[in-house]
Amino acid sequence: MQVILLENIKSLGKIGDIVKVKRGYARNYLIKFEKALNASKENIEIVNNKKAQLNKKDLVLKKEAKKNYEILNNKEYKIQKLVTENNDLYGSVKPTEITKIIKEKDNVDVKPSQIDIEKEIKSIGTFKTTINLHSEIQAHILIEVEKSEEKKS
């Protein structure tokens, strides 16, 4: 299925590009979240007329991403978790936990979908994580997982 992009998407292209994607990806993600339109003649004309406006919107998003990049890049965040005797975690560290820590520490809103964890975090240690702030801007952070002190009663 061919779609015309309404925003820059890292893996697909820039605003106004006509790209071929799988039908499900187009319907369930790109069109649903207003990232693209079906590539009909009418829609192509509409996007070409609105391209300047879409580029301005993207520039604003890029400025916000740069500001957040300055705050977040190369920072280290500590998370305390309960562990087994082997120093393995009960469960794993999820992107939602990372977004909460970032919001608490630096007051920056990051969606869990923007966080790329290189390797599933299931043990104590330091792990490199990437935050996709914009299609052109990625911040790298470190997540340090520590043993949580259990309260004995």
For residue 153, the model assigns a pLDDT of 41
User: HSE of 4 in the Cβ direction (CA atoms, 13 Å)?
Assistant: 17
Give me the DSSP letters along 47-58.
HHHHHHHHHHHH
| Residue 134 within any structural domain of the chain | yes
CA 75 to chain CA centroid, Å, is: 17
| Buried b / exposed e along 99-126 (16+ C-beta atoms within 10 A) | bebbeeeeebebeeebbebeeebebeee
This prediction has a pTM of 0.75
Q: Does residue 55 share a domain with residue 77?
A: no
For residue 86, the model assigns a pLDDT of 83
Tokens, residue 119: 């390797």
Q: Which of 32, 62, 92 is the last residue of a domain?
A: 62
| Residue 67 within any structural domain of the chain | no
| Residue 21 within any structural domain of the chain | yes
For residue 8, the model assigns a pLDDT of 85
Q: Does residue 43 share a domain with residue 106?
A: no
Residue 85 sits in which domain range?
73-147
Per-residue pLDDT tens, the chain, 153 aa: give them: 999 999 888 889 888 899 999 999 999 999 999 999 999 999 988 888 888 888 888 899 999 999 999 999 999 999 999 888 888 888 899 999 999 999 999 999 999 989 999 888 999 999 999 999 988 899 999 999 998 876 444
Closest CA to 133 of 74, 73, 71, 69: 69
For residue 152, the model assigns a pLDDT of 44
- What is the C-alpha separation between 152 and 149, in angstroms, rounded? 9
Q: Does residue 47 share a domain with residue 14?
A: yes
